[in-house]
Structure 1
Amino acid sequence: MPSSLTWARQIIWGDVPSSGVERRLLLKIDWFILSYYLDRSNVNNAYVSDMKQDLNMQGNQFNIISTVFTCGYILGMIPNNLMLQVVTPRIWFPLVQLVWATLTFCSSTVKTVQQLYVIRFFLGMAEASTFVGTHYILGSWYKPSELGKGSGLFTASGLIGTLFSGVLQGAVYKNLGGVAGRSGWRWLFVIDGVITLPIALYGFLVFPDVPATTKAFYLTEEERLLSYERLKSDHDVDRRPLSWGLVKKVLGHWRWYACSLLFAVSGETESFSSNNLMGQWLSSIGDYSVEQVDYYPSGVTAFGIASTLICATWTDYARVRWPVLLYMSFCCTAAAVCILIWASPTAVKFLAYYLAGASYSGQATTFAWANQICADDNQERAVVLASMNMWNNVVNAWWPLVFYPATDAPRFKTGMITMICTCVATVIVTLLVRYLEQREQRSAHALVDTLEVTTP
C-alpha cells in the first residue's frame, strides 16, 4: 500500500522519476520549454478598449480581423512544424519571434482597419510556429506518463499570458492612454512587442531542441544521454531526412484523420474566450467601465488555468485522456444553457462565462493524447499535431463570422445553440478516437503474441 507521500508524488509526477538525475532533467525541461510562449489575445483587448472607435470599425470587421489572422495561421502550420525537422528549434523559434515582434510594433501605427488586416495575416503565419511546434517538442522530451502535465503547464503558461494581457490592457488604458498622442490600445501593441524581444533572445540562449540533437548548456552529459535513452522503449526519437513517403504514410493511417477531426470539433468550444464573448457582452450592455470590461473576462482565463492543470495532472495519474473532453463538454453545455436563458440574473451569466473556461482543459489533453498516439513515429507526429491545429483553424476562419458575429452581442443566441451541438459532437468524436486507439493497441498486442509464439 503506497504511502500518502508516494501517492501525492505519483499524482504530481505521473511516474515518479527513478533517480535524482531524471528529476533534475525534468525540472530543467519543464522550465526551459514551458516558460516560452506567445500571446495573441491583444487584439481582443484592444477592440474593447477604443480601437473600434479609433479605426471606425463597422459591422463584422472585428470578426474579419480574426479570420485573416486565422488564414495566415493555417498556411503556416504544417510548413513551420516541418521546418523543425530541418532547422533546430533553438534557431527557428526565436527567428519567428523577432518577425512577430516587428509586426506587433507595426500594429500600433495602423490608421485603417484594412492595414490591420494585412498585418494580422502575416502575424498569423509567424505565430503558427509556436503552439504546435512546442507540443511537438513536448512529445519529444516527455514519456506518456508525463505528457499530460507538460501539455497542461504549456497551456496554462499561455493562459497566464492571456490573463496578464487583460490586466495589462486595463492598466495601459488607465495610465498610458493619450501619452505621446497615442491611444491606450496602441500602447498595448508597443509593450507586447517590447516584451517579445527579450523572449526571443531567451529562446536562442536556452531552448533545448530535442533529445537527439540537444546541446543545451544547462544539461550535463549524463542528462543528455538519459533524455534520449529513457524514451527509446515507446518513442521514435531519431531524426530522419524528409521524403515524399511521409505524405503516403500519414494519409494512409487513421491517426491523421481522427486526431484532426477531434480538435477541429472540440477546439470550437473555446469560442467563448477566443472571441471574447464576455467582453463583448459587458461592453454592449454599457454598465461597465473600459477597465472593468478588460478585467472581468480574466476570470474565464483563471478558471481555464485551474481546470487545465487539475485535469492534466489527473490524466497522467489515471493514464487516460478522454474523460477530460467529456468534462469540458459538460461545462460548456451548462454555460451555453445559462446564457440562452436570457432572463437569468447577471451573476448567473458571470458564472456561466467563467465555467466555460473549462474548454481550455480539452486543448492540453487533446494534444497530449495525440502525442501519445503517434509516439512511435517522429515525423508522423509532427504532421498530425500541425494538422490538428490547422483544421481547427480552418473551421475558425469562418466559425465566428457565422455563429458569433459582433452584431449578435450581447446575447449570441445562435452561438449558444451551436455551442451545445459542438459539445455533443465532441463527445461522439472523443469516443471514436478512443475506440480506434484501443483497436490499434489490441492489434499490436496480438502481433507481439504471434511473434512470441512463432519465434523458436
Structure 2
Amino acid sequence: MATQVINSDNVTPGGAIDIDQDQKLSDAKVTSADEDDELNHEIDPKEERAFVWRLDLIFLTIGFLGYTFKYLDQSNISNAYVSGMKEDLKLYGNQLNYFTTYFNIGYMIMLYPSCIIISHIGPSVWLPTLEQVYGIRFLIGFCEGATWPGYYTIISQWYLPHEIALRMAIYNIAQPTGAMLSGAMQGALATNLQGSLGRAGWRWAFIVNGALTIFIALLVFFVIPGFPDRQNPLTKWYLKPRHIEIARARSRRVGRKPQRPIVPKSFLRAFSFWQLWAFAISWAIGGNTTPGNYYNLWLKSLKNPNGTLTYSVGLLNYLPLIGQAIQLVCELGFSGLSDFFGTRLPFLLAHSTINIASLIILIIRPKNRHTYMAGWYLNYVGGVSTMLITAWASENLEAEPEVLTVLFASGTILSYLQSGFVPIAAYPASQAPNWHIGAKLYLGFAAVALTMFIGIHFGLKWEAKKKAEKLAEEERESTASGTEAVDHVQGYFVDKV
C-alpha cells in the first residue's frame, strides 16, 4: 500500500488535506525525476566516450586552427620587427610596444560587448564573422576580442569538470603553435621570398597569414556547435539529436545550468561574486610570460667579437620556437594531470615555483649565456596557469554560466591591460637588451599570484562549507515544517473523532 506524504503544501488553511494537489505535486516530481533518470541512465559509457571524441575531433580541431591563426595575427608583428620591418619602416623607438598596445586596446574594448552578444546570438555566427575583418592593428584586436571568451564559454558548456582543463589546454596550445608557425613562416619567407614581386619577406608573411585565416573562418561557420540547448543549425551534419540529448544529460549530471542571454542586470550581478574578482586578477598576473616575448630582442643584441650578429635572421625566429614548444608540452601535461587527479592548486604551486625561478635568473643575468637562456625558456612555462585557473573557475561556477562568461571576459581584459601597458614601462624596446625593471616587476606579480592561488583555495573551501551548512539548515527547516503539518492533520482528525 502506497504511503501518502503529507506536508504543509497540501494542507489548506482550514486544515483540510488537498489530496488532488498533493497527487499533482507528487506526479510532477516523479515525472521530472523519471525524465532526468532517463536522460542520465540511458547513456551508455561507450556512447558518451564516442560523443566526446566527436567533439574533440571536429570542434576542438577547428577551434585550434582558428586560434592558431588568430595568435599568428597577433605575434607576427614581433617576428616581422626582427626580420627587416624595423629597418624598412625606420622603427627605432618604442613603436613595437605601441603596435602591441593599439592591438590590445581594440581587443579589450570588444571583450564585454562580445560576451553579451555571444550569449544572445551564439558563438557560431559571431566568432567566424569577426575573424574575417582585417585592417590596422586596432581593428585586428577589436575583431579578435570575441575569440578567447567565446571559445572558453563553449568548452565550459560542452565538457565536464574533469575534462575541461585538458580541452582548454588543447585549444590554448594554439597560442604557442601560432607563435611557432609565425616564427617558422617569417624565417622561411625572409630567406626564400625576400624581394619577390618587389616585396620584403616580412610583408609576405602578412599576406599568407591573412589568406589562410579567411579560409579557416569560413569553415568555422559549419563547425562551432553553439550551446547544448541552442545548437548551431549548420552543425547538424555532425551533431545529431542523440548527441544533443547526451550533452544535456551530461550537463544535468553536474548541476550545470544552460547559458542564458546576458542582460544588464545579470551582467552587473556577475561582479558581486568574489570568485570573479579572485580568478580574474590571479589570471592576469599569474602567467608572467611577458618577459619571454622579448627573448628575440636579447638574441638580436648579441654580437661576435668581429662585430657581426651572433644569430642570423632565421635563427632569431627559430630559437624562440624552443620556448613555445616547452609551453605547449607543459600546458598539456599540467592540465591533463590536473584533470586526472581532480585538483588545481598543486599544479599552480608547481607553476609558480618554476615561474619565480625563471624570473630570478633573468634578474641576476648570469654571465653564462646558456644559463641565461634557460631563464628565458623557463619563463614560457608560466602560460600553464591560465588553463588551470579557468578550469578551476568553471567547475566552481557550474550553476552560474553568465558569471563564468563575464569572468572569462574580465580575466582577458585584465590580462591584456597588463600585457598591453605594463611592458611599455617594463620592457621598452629602446632599453633592450638590458631592461631596468622588467623581470623585477614580474617577479612581484608572481609572488602576489602565488598568494592569491592559496587564498582562492581556502576561499572555495569556506564557500563550500557555507553552502553545506545552508543546505543542512534548509533540510532541518523542511523536516520541522513537515512535522508541524502532520501534527496539525492528526489534531484535525482527533477533533473530528
TM norm structure 1? 0.88
What amino acid sits opposite 1:22 in the alignment? E
2:116 is the alignment partner of 1:90:
no
Equivalents in 1 of 2:409, 2:365: separation in Å? 39
Instruction: Tell me how many residue pairs correspond in the alignment.
Output: 420
What amino acid sits opposite 2:458 in the alignment? Y
For each residue in 1:254-304, what CA deviation from the matched residue of structure 2 results, as whole angstroms up to 9, or x when unmatched?
12221221112214x02023xx21101111223110000000001110000
Equivalents in 1 of 2:324, 2:57: separation in Å? 21
User: In the alignment, what sits opposite 2:37?
Assistant: none
Task: Report the alpha carbon displacement of residue 413 of structure 1 after superposing the two structures with TM.
Answer: 4.2
Task: Report the alpha carbon displacement of residue 323 of structure 1 after superposing the two structures with TM.
Answer: 2.4
2:271 is the alignment partner of 1:251:
yes
Among 374, 381, 398, the residue aligned to 1:351: 374
Among 193, 206, 219, the residue aligned to 2:239: 219
User: In the alignment, what sits opposite 1:423?
Assistant: 446
User: In the alignment, what sits opposite 1:315?
Assistant: 338
2:390 is the alignment partner of 1:383:
no
2:56 is the alignment partner of 1:33:
no
Q: CA RMSD in A?
A: 1.6
User: In the alignment, what sits opposite 1:132?
Assistant: 149
- Written as runs of structure 1 = structure 2, the 5 A alignment for 1:40-439 is 40-99=74-133, 102-103=134-135, 119-214=136-231, 215=233, 216=235, 217-267=237-287, 269-273=288-292, 276-285=293-302, 286-439=309-462
Contact kept, 8 Å, 2:92 with 2:430, in 1: the verdict is: no
More displaced stretch, 160-169 vs 134-143: 160-169
Equivalents in 1 of 2:297, 2:469: separation in Å? 54
Contact kept, 8 Å, 1:235 with 1:376, in 2: the verdict is: yes
Equivalents in 2 of 1:235, 1:135: separation in Å? 19
Task: Report the alpha carbon displacement of residue 324 of structure 1 after superposing the two structures with TM.
Answer: 2.5
Equivalents in 2 of 1:342, 1:378: separation in Å? 45
Contact kept, 8 Å, 1:70 with 1:121, in 2: the verdict is: yes
Equivalents in 2 of 1:324, 1:407: separation in Å? 36
Equivalents in 1 of 2:338, 2:445: separation in Å? 23
Secondary structure at the counterpart of residue 206 of structure 1: coil
For each residue in 1:323-376, what CA deviation from the matched residue of structure 2 results, as whole angstroms up to 9, or x when unmatched?
222222221221222233334311112222111111111111111122222221
Contact kept, 8 Å, 1:250 with 1:256, in 2: the verdict is: yes
Equivalents in 1 of 2:176, 2:353: separation in Å? 21
Equivalents in 2 of 1:455, 1:123: separation in Å? 56
Contact kept, 8 Å, 2:116 with 2:261, in 1: the verdict is: no
Contact kept, 8 Å, 2:116 with 2:263, in 1: the verdict is: no
What amino acid sits opposite 2:90 in the alignment? N
User: In the alignment, what sits opposite 2:15?
Assistant: none
Alignment gaps of 5+ in structure 2: 1-42, 303-308, 480-497
Equivalents in 2 of 1:295, 1:453: separation in Å? 65
For each residue in 1:9-62, what CA deviation from the matched residue of structure 2 results, as whole angstroms up to 9, or x when unmatched?
xxxxxxxx9612111111122233322212121111111111111111122111
Task: Report the alpha carbon displacement of residue 421 of structure 1 after superposing the two structures with TM.
Answer: 1.2
Equivalents in 2 of 1:344, 1:332: separation in Å? 20
Among 472, 475, 485, the residue aligned to 1:452: 475
What amino acid sits opposite 2:401 in the alignment? N
Task: Report the alpha carbon displacement of residue 235 of structure 1 after superposing the two structures with TM.
Answer: 4.3
Contact kept, 8 Å, 2:291 with 2:439, in 1: the verdict is: no
What amino acid sits opposite 2:432 in the alignment? A
For each residue in 1:400-434, what CA deviation from the matched residue of structure 2 results, as whole angstroms up to 9, or x when unmatched?
01111112211334111112211111101111222
Contact kept, 8 Å, 2:267 with 2:406, in 1: the verdict is: no
Equivalents in 2 of 1:209, 1:32: separation in Å? 13
Task: Report the alpha carbon displacement of residue 185 of structure 1 after superposing the two structures with TM.
Answer: 0.9
Secondary structure at the counterpart of residue 98 of structure 1: coil
Contact kept, 8 Å, 1:332 with 1:419, in 2: the verdict is: no
